[in-house]
Amino acid sequence: MSANGNGDAVYEVFARADFAEPLAHVGSLRAPGDELARAYARSTYDEDRWVEMLAVPRRCIVQVISVGAER
């Protein structure tokens, strides 16, 4: 469950319009699970013709460097 208490998790959305391009962060969203995150991402970030789109639960992202942040 997320910090907001309603069960929704935060997902970071990454996409690319061409396989030769790197994935780019296109936004974030809240969803109660992976299936709805997939649907929300597809409908929210449909402005381009993406060849690949990923919705990653924020809790799964491992921070590598953060200058000035506390651990």
Domain assignment present for residue 18? The answer is yes
Domain assignment present for residue 50? The answer is yes
Which pLDDT band, with edges at 50, 70 and 90, does 1 fall under? very low
Least confident of 6-15, 52-61, 62-71: 62-71
Q: What pLDDT is stored for residue 2 in this prediction?
A: 45
- Residues 19-60 pLDDT 10s: 999 999 999 999 999 999 999 999 999 989 999 999 999 999
Work out how many domains the chain is built from and give that number.
1
Among the residues of the chain, which ranges form H helices?
34-44
Domain assignment present for residue 3? The answer is no
Q: Kindly report whether the global pTM for this prediction surpasses the value 0.85.
A: no
Domain assignment present for residue 19? The answer is yes
CATH of the domain at 18: 3.10.20
| Bridge partner list, 25 | 14
Between CA 29 and CA 54 the distance in angstroms is: 12
* Domain extent at residue 24: 9-60
